[in-house]
Chain A
């Protein structure tokens, strides 16, 4: 079960309140009981304000199978400073109607970095880029089923391609008697979002 920010805070508050109420019937002195109630109340505020600083940072989870590249940022490893480096992606999931972009980070690989920079070059020329994640066939690679869970995005191949505009319907796709009253053709993906 996975909860969102609001659900986690609510679950914490409910659980802590129930436990604090049950503890009121303990053999502790009233001072200690008061301290427990105070600690519980403080924890409500702390948990509420703790999730916001965690948001916004890139996640290490797997990228969506098909995504729109909004922006990317490469950070090369630096042995001198001990910096591990990474490739950061800011993408929107193509399988979802939600256009909220999400940030991901994968390990730095020179080959992937070159591909990402090439995709960004084309993006800067106003050619939207679609990314696809190719899963390796781990069964054929002789990787045991138990070990496959550990394979994250960086073990997958990320490809980029120009996003092709949706083709306009041909004459045969249109209703027969709609010549005069045909509605304006809109693509289903054409929402009011656009990236720069």
Chain B
């Protein structure tokens, strides 16, 4: 099970414990107890309804260490809209090579990243699958750690003789 799903189930169980404690161990008015129960039930319903709407949107968590690039979309910075720009990447984690499922990520826009991903996407167009690797580099100016990507052409599969 996805660790995120485990966390959501845990937090909803906590809400259940809280409402049951309220109902059975306090002397609050019955109306308050009923209202609390209804609120929790409604929250469960809203969570279940909202979950599918959250799926599919890109995540800003860090990329897998090694991945297979499937697609790129650039949203370049725009001074008129004061947009800082974003780069969306769609990739499969090489760890899940038996059952790869592509996942969408969003990265902050940098010209260097744009250039690398653009080159990789051009190779993708030429049917050259691209293997990506995340490298953490320290920015010499800001001294902050930044994500850098390296791309390699996927090696040909060696078939047994």
Binding site for B on A (CB under 8 A): 1-5, 8, 11-12, 15-16, 18-20, 22-23, 25-28, 36, 39-40, 42-43, 46-47, 49-61, 70-71, 73, 75, 81, 83, 88, 90, 92, 99-105, 124, 126, 192-196
Query: A36 vs B71: C-alpha distance in the bound complex, in angstroms?
Result: 46
Q: When the two chains form their complex, are residues B18 and A52 in contact, meaning their CB atoms are under 8 A apart?
A: no
Known: A73-B90, A103-B104, A124-B125. 19 other contacts (CB 8 A): A8-B47, A12-B15, A18-B36, A22-B22, A22-B32, A25-B26, A46-B10, A47-B7, A50-B4, A55-B55, A56-B103, A57-B56, A61-B55, A70-B71, A100-B58, A104-B56, A195-B74, A196-B72, A196-B122
Q: When the two chains form their complex, are residues B4 and A1 in contact, meaning their CB atoms are under 8 A apart?
A: no
Given contacts A40-B14, A56-B105, A88-B102, contact A23 B22 (CB under 8 A): yes
Residue in A27, A75, A102, A194 whose CB lies within 8 Å of B25: A27
Binding site for A on B (CB under 8 A): 2-8, 10-11, 14-15, 17-19, 21-22, 25-28, 32, 36, 39-40, 43, 46-47, 49-61, 70-76, 78, 88, 90, 92, 98-106, 117-118, 121-122, 124-127
Residue in B4, B18, B117 whose CB lies within 8 Å of A53: B4
Query: A18 vs B28: C-alpha distance in the bound complex, in angstroms?
Result: 13
Interface of chain A: mostly helix, strand, loop or mixed = mixed
Which residue on B lies nearest to A91, using beta carbons? Answer: B56
Given contacts A39-B17, A61-B53, A88-B101, contact A50 B73 (CB under 8 A): no
Q: When the two chains form their complex, are residues B75 and A11 in contact, meaning their CB atoms are under 8 A apart?
A: no
